[in-house]
């Protein structure tokens, strides 16, 4: 297990991990443990040439987030949460917004409340509870969708 990076390193990584470099890192995070080549990155992300992909991969190597095998393939050595990556979590091979879990929880609670209140529990539907539950669910779903649209790849 690698030791946590000092704050100054995290600030440097956050300033460097943008644009195409972030897209490549995101792509590599989506398939943990796998090795990718320069041409695969170039074709998948539709970069203009393999040298552009190589440049950004070498940037990731310099940041110590990615390493290179003897055969020239790259793999993730460290998953780091900086910038936009802070708001995503791994769910299998997918990176999903953290708000997704809260959205599902609040929506499930709201549906359960409405169902139970409809069948006579709680003495009927309380409009304040319904309003708060609906607003919380709506806001969380909007934030989840907003983050999903901001994902690099």
Does residue 13 carry a pLDDT above 90? Answer: no
State residue 152's pLDDT score.
80
pLDDT bracket for residue 1 (50, 70, 90): very low
Helix or strand or coil: residue 37? coil
Q: Which of 29, 52, 84 is the last residue of a domain?
A: 84
**For residue 106, what are the domain limits?**
98-150
Q: Which of 43, 58, 84 is the last residue of a domain?
A: 84
Contact 153, 45 (CB under 8 A): yes
Find the CATH number of the domain harbouring 29: 1.10.10.10
Does one domain contain both 17 and 74? yes
Neighbours of 63 (CB within 10 A): 18
Does one domain contain both 14 and 45? yes
* Structural domain total, the chain: 2
State residue 56's pLDDT score.
93
State residue 2's pLDDT score.
52
Q: Give the E-state strand segments of the chain in sequence order.
A: 66-68, 74-76, 88-91, 94-97
pLDDT bracket for residue 11 (50, 70, 90): confident
26-49 pLDDT, tens digit each: 999 887 778 999 999 999 899 999
Within-domain flag for 130: yes
Within-domain flag for 67: yes
55-78 pLDDT, tens digit each: 999 999 988 899 999 998 999 998
């Amino acid at each position: 297990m690698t030791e946590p990076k000092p704050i100054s390193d995290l600030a440097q990584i956050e300033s460097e991990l943008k644009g195409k470099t972030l897209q490549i890192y995101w792509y590599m995070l989506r398939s943990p443990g796998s090795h990718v080549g320069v041409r695969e990155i170039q074709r998948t992300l539709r970069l203009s040439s393999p040298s552009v992909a190589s440049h950004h991969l070498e940037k990731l190597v310099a940041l110590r987030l990615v390493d290179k095998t003897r055969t020239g393939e790259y793999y993730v050595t460290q998953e780091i949460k900086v910038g936009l990556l802070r708001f995503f979590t791994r769910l299998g091979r997918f990176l999903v917004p953290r708000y997704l879990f809260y959205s599902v929880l609040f929506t499930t609670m709201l549906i359960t409340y409405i169902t139970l209140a409809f069948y006579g529990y709680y003495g009927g539907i309380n409009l304040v509870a319904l309003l708060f539950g609906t607003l919380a669910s709506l806001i969380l779903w909007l934030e989840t969708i907003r983050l999903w649209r901001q994902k690099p790849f």
